[in-house]
Structures are given as structure tokens and as C-alpha cells.
Structure 1
Amino acid sequence: MDVKLAFGKALRQIRKARGMTQEAFEPGVVRTYISALERGIHSPTLERIVELAALLNVSSAALLTLTAFYEQDSQDSASFLNELCEDVCNWI
């Protein structure tokens, strides 16, 4: 899956799981921008990813991890997370 579409899917899933509407991000982030992100039309900056994650009350790492999961079209979340943990453990 295209990374912009994967990010949009992750953003939408977390937003809905939190019971938030697209309007809930206003006034800091307008609904049309959230809609464009969720449809894969725009790519957020790193600063915007951190801001969106904070508004969703999740870590930016969680938002990007879910994005990577969708981008890779992963079906097995346990294998995906194990591989991610192995990669991270090699760096810290």
C-alpha cells in the first residue's frame, strides 16, 4: 500500500477508536486537512505527525508503527511487531 494511504488509514483508525470526529482537531487542524490526510492526498510533516499523535493521545511511534503495518500490507501483527522489536533492540 502507498505510504500516504497507509498513514491515512492509520490516522482514521485511531481517530475512530478514540471516538473523535474530523472536526475534533479544530481549531488547530482543520477538518479538510484531516480528510485529505485520511484519503492519502497530503503527507504530513514530522512536526504535524507529532501534533496529530498528541491530539489523538497516542505516541507518534504508535501512529507511525500502524502506518508501517498497513504500508507493508501485513496480515500477521505478531510477526510484524516481533520484527520491529528485533530491529529496535539492535539500535538501543
Structure 2
Amino acid sequence: MELKPAFGTALKLIRNRRGMTQEDFGVISSRTYLSSLERGLKCPTLEKVEDLAAVLNVHPLTVLAVAYTIKDSAALEALMRQVKGEYEWVFSETSRNLGEPAHR
């Protein structure tokens, strides 16, 4: 599945699990915009992902993790191991290059 429809599916799934309607997002988005996101027609900015997650009362990474597990038909555990390894790699390389202790 492509990323935009996967994100839309994740957004709708979380919204439905919270028992929310598209109108519940009226403070940050129109129902039309939310519908276009859920149908995979539009792609939100990072700021909008953060706003949507706040209304859903979840971390923005939760929305993205659900979207990427849908997109790639991947297991969450495998995705999180990959992200954790890459995160540690980034900070170990950055710390080494800057002469600082590794960030954890």
C-alpha cells in the first residue's frame, strides 16, 4: 500500500477506536480536510500530524507507526527494533564526531 492511503487508514482506525467523529477535529481541521486525509488524497505536514495526534490523545509516532505497519504489512516489533537501532546509530555517530558521550 502507498503511504498516503496507509496514513489515512491509520488515522481513521485510531479515530474510530477513540469513538470520535470527523467533526471532533473541527478545532484543527475541517471535516473535508480530514476526510481527504483518511481517503489518502492528501498528505499532512509534520505540524498537522502533531495536531491530529493531540486530538486523538496519542503520540505522533503512534500514528506514524500504525501507518507504516499498514503500508509495509510489517510487525510493530520489527519496526520498533529497526527504529531503535537507527536512533542509536545516529546518536553514536553524532557523539563520536562531536567528541561527546553517546546520547541515550
The answer to which of 76-85 and 18-27 deviates more is: 76-85
Identity, % of aligned positions: 38
Q: Aligned pair count?
A: 91
Q: Unpaired segments of 5 or more residues in structure 1?
A: none
Give the TM-score of the pair, scaled to structure 2.
Answer: 0.77
Amino acid at match of 1:79: A
Where in structure 1 do 4 or more consecutive aligned residues deviate above 6 Å?
none
Over alpha carbons, which structure has the higher Rg? 2
User: Looking at both structures, which has the greater relative contact order when contacts are Cα pairs under 8 Å and sequence separation is at least 6?
Assistant: 1
2:94 — aligned with what? none
Partners of 2:81 and 2:11 lie apart in 1 by 22
1:41 — aligned with what? 41
Q: Unpaired segments of 5 or more residues in structure 2?
A: 92-104
Q: Is the Cα–Cα contact under 8 Å of residues 28 and 52 in structure 2 kept in the other structure?
A: no
Amino acid at match of 2:6: A
Q: Is the Cα–Cα contact under 8 Å of residues 5 and 39 in structure 2 kept in the other structure?
A: yes
Report deviation, 1:77. Answer: 3.0
Partners of 1:28 and 1:86 lie apart in 2 by 34
1:23 — aligned with what? 23
